[in-house]
Structure 1
Amino acid sequence: MRRRACGPPRLGQDSLLPATPEPDAGPAGEPAISRRIAALHLPWLPVERLCLTGFAAIWTTEGSRRALVAVSPAAAAAGLHPGQALADAQAILPELALHPHVPEADAAWLRRLAHWARCITPLPALDPPDGLLLDITGIAHLHGGEEALRRALVARFARAGVTVQAAIAGTADCAAGLARAGVGIVVPPGEAAIAVAPLPLQALRLPPASIAALHRLGLRRVGDLLRQPRGPLAKRFGLALLATLDAATGLRPRPLRPLRPPPDFLAARDFLEPVVTREAIDATLVVLLPELCRQLQEAGQGARRFLLHAFRVDGVVQLAVIGTGLPARDPRHIARLFREKLEGLEPGFGFERLALEARACAPLTAAQAALPGEGGASADTRRQSLAELLDRLTQRVEVWRLAPRASHWPERAIFRVGPFESVLPPPGWPGSGPRPVRLLRRPVRLSAVALLPDAPPSLLRLGRASWRVLRAEGPERIAPEWWRDRPGRPFRDYYRVQLVTGARLWVCRSGIAVPGEETQWWLHGRFE
Structure 2
Amino acid sequence: MPPARPAEPPGEPLREPPAESLGEPPAKPGAAPLRIAALHLPLLPIERRRLAGAAAIWTSEGNRRLLVAVTPAAARAGLAAGQALADAQAILPGLALHPHAPAADAAWLRRLGHWALRLTPRPALDPPDGLLLDITGLAPLHGGEAALHRHLAERFARLGLTARIAIAGTPAAAAGLARSGLEIRVPPGGEAEALAPLPLHALRLPPASIGLLHRLGLRCLGDLLRQPRAPLARRFGPDLAALLEAATGARPAPLQPLRPPPDFLAAHDVLEPLITREAIDATLALLLDRLCRQLAAAGQGARRFLLQAFRVDGAVQAIAVGTGLPSRDPRHVARLFRERLERLEPGFGFERLALEAHATAPLAAAQAILPAARPGTGRAAPSGEALAALLDRLAQRVTLWRAAPQASHWPERGIRRVGPFVAVQIPPGWPGSGPHPVRLLRRPLQLAGVALLPDAPPSLLRLGRTAWRVTRAEGPERIAPEWWRERPDRPCRDYYRVELASGARLWVCRSGPVAPGEAMTWWLHGRFA
TM-score by shorter chain over 0.5? yes
Shift in Å at residue 233 of structure 1? 4.9
Task: State the match for 2:272 in structure 1.
Answer: 273
> Is the 8 Å Cα contact of residues 405 and 425 (structure 1) preserved in structure 2?
yes
Structure 1 match to 2:439? 438
Deviates more, 1:424-433 or 1:227-236: 227-236
Of residues 313-322 and 240-249 in structure 1, the stretch that sits farther from structure 2 once superposed is 240-249
In structure 2, the gaps of 5 or more residues are 1-28
Contact preservation (8 Å) 2:195, 2:222: yes
Aligned match of 2:417: 416
State whether residues 372 and 380 of structure 2, in contact with CA within 8 Å, keep that contact through their aligned partners in structure 1.
no
Matching residue of 1:468: 469
Query: Highest relative contact order (Cα 8 Å, sep 6+), 1 or 2?
Result: 2
Displacement after TM superposition at 1:247 (Å): 2.4
2:501 corresponds to: 500
Contact 1:456-1:474 at 8 Å conserved across structures: yes
- How far 1:212 sits from its partner (Å)? 3.9
Instruction: Please state how far the C-alpha of 1:415 moved relative to its aligned partner.
Output: 0.9
1:258 maps onto 2:288 in alignment: no
Q: Are residues 449 and 192 of structure 1, via their aligned partners in 2, closer, same or farther at CA, if it must alter by over 3 Å?
A: same
Shift of 1:210: 3.5
8 Å CA contact 1:369, 1:377 repeated in 2: no
Distance in 2 separating the partners of 1:394 and 1:236: 61
**Is the 8 Å Cα contact of residues 267 and 355 (structure 2) preserved in structure 1?**
yes
Write the letter of the residue equivalent to 1:123.
R
Task: Provide the aligned length of Structure 1 versus Structure 2.
Answer: 498
Match of 2:514?
Answer: 513
TM-aligned CA deviation for residue 203 of structure 1: 2.1
Aligned to 2:106: 107
Cα distance, 1:206 vs structure 2: 2.4
Give the equivalent residue in structure 2 for 1:350. Answer: 349
Question: Counterpart in 2 of 1:4?
Answer: none
Contact 1:494 1:506 in 2 (8 A): yes
Which 10-residue stretch deviates more, 470-479 or 365-374? 365-374
Q: Does 1:526 align with 2:527?
A: yes
- Give matches, 1:250-329, under 5 Å: 250-329=249-328
CA distance in 1, matches of 2:489, 2:235: 64
CA distance in 1, matches of 2:275, 2:52: 30
Q: Secondary structure at the match of 2:124?
A: strand
Deviations 1:281-339 (A, max 9, x none): 11110100011111111111111111001111222111101011111111000000001
Larger mean Cα displacement after TM superposition, 518-527 or 308-317: 308-317
> In the TM superposition, what whole-angstrom CA distance separates every residue of 1:17-53 from its partner, at most 9, and x where no partner exists?
xxxxxxxxxx9xxx94211111111111111112121
- TM-score (structure 1 length as normaliser): 0.90
Specify the alignment match of 2:123 in structure 1.
124
Show the counterpart of 1:459: 460
Write the mapping of 1:71-150 to structure 2, written as runs, cut at 5 A.
71-150=70-149
Partner of residue 21, structure 2: none
Per-residue CA deviations over 1:134-191 (Å, capped at 9, x if unaligned) read 1111111111211111111111111112111111111112211211122112222222
TM-score (normalised: structure 2) = 0.89
Tell me if structure 1 keeps the 8 A contact 2:371–2:383: no
Q: Aligned residue for 1:223? A: 222
Helix, strand or coil at the partner of 1:240 = helix
Partner SS, residue 429 of structure 1: coil
Structure 1 residue 253, shift from structure 2 partner? 4.1
Distance 1:499 1:217, change over 3 A: closer
- Structure 1: stretches of 5+ with no match in the other structure: 1-26
Q: Bigger CA drift: 369-378 or 92-101?
A: 369-378
- For residues 486 and 56 of structure 1, the distance between their equivalents in structure 2, rounded to whole angstroms, comes to 59
Q: Which amino acid aligns with 2:333?
A: I
User: Structure 1 pair 401/232, CA: closer, same or farther in 2 (3 Å)?
Assistant: closer
d(CA) in 1 for partners of 2:138 and 2:186?
Answer: 16
After superposition, the Cα gap between the structure-2 partners of 1:216 and 1:491, relative to the gap in structure 1 and judged at 3 Å, is closer
Q: Counterpart of 1:179?
A: 178
Partner residue of 1:339? 338
Query: 1:461 is matched by which residue type in structure 2?
Result: R
Partner of 1:480: 481
Q: Would you say the 8 A contact 1:172–1:253 is kept in 2?
A: no
Are residues 142 and 469 of structure 1, via their aligned partners in 2, closer, same or farther at CA, if it must alter by over 3 Å?
Answer: same
Residue identity in the other structure for 2:484? W
> 2-side partners of 1:365 and 1:201: how far apart?
57
- Return the letter of the residue paired with 1:122: P
Distance 1:319 1:32, change over 3 A: closer
Q: Measure the CA separation in 1 of the matches of 2:352 and 2:431.
A: 54
Q: Is the 8 A contact 1:38 1:166 kept in 2?
A: yes
Q: CA deviation at 1:368?
A: 3.6
**Structure 1 CA distance for aligned equivalents of residues 213 and 242 of structure 2:** 16
CA distance in 2, matches of 1:265, 1:387: 23
1:386 and 2:394 matched: no
Return closer, same or farther for 1:373/1:47 CA change in 2, 3 Å cut-off.
closer
Q: Per-residue CA shift, 1:458-510, capped at 9, x if unaligned? A: 22111111121121111111111111111221221111111111111111122
Question: Is the partner of 2:417 in helix, strand or coil?
Answer: strand
- Compute the RMSD of aligned alpha carbons: 2.2
Contact 1:370–1:378, Cα closer than 8 Å, also in 2? no
Separation in structure 2 between the aligned mates of residue 369 and residue 263 of structure 1, nearest angstrom: 30
Find the aligned partners of 1:512 and 1:41 in 2 and give their Cα distance.
72
Q: Secondary structure at the match of 2:383?
A: helix
Alignment partners' CA distance in 1, 2:523 and 2:105: 55
Q: Which amino acid aligns with 1:85?
A: A
Give % identity: 74
Q: 1:22: which partner in 2?
A: none
Q: Secondary structure at the match of 1:457?
A: coil
For 1:3, the equivalent position in structure 2 comes to none
In 1, the alpha carbon distance for the partners of 2:408 and 2:234 equals: 62
Cross-structure match for 1:404: 405
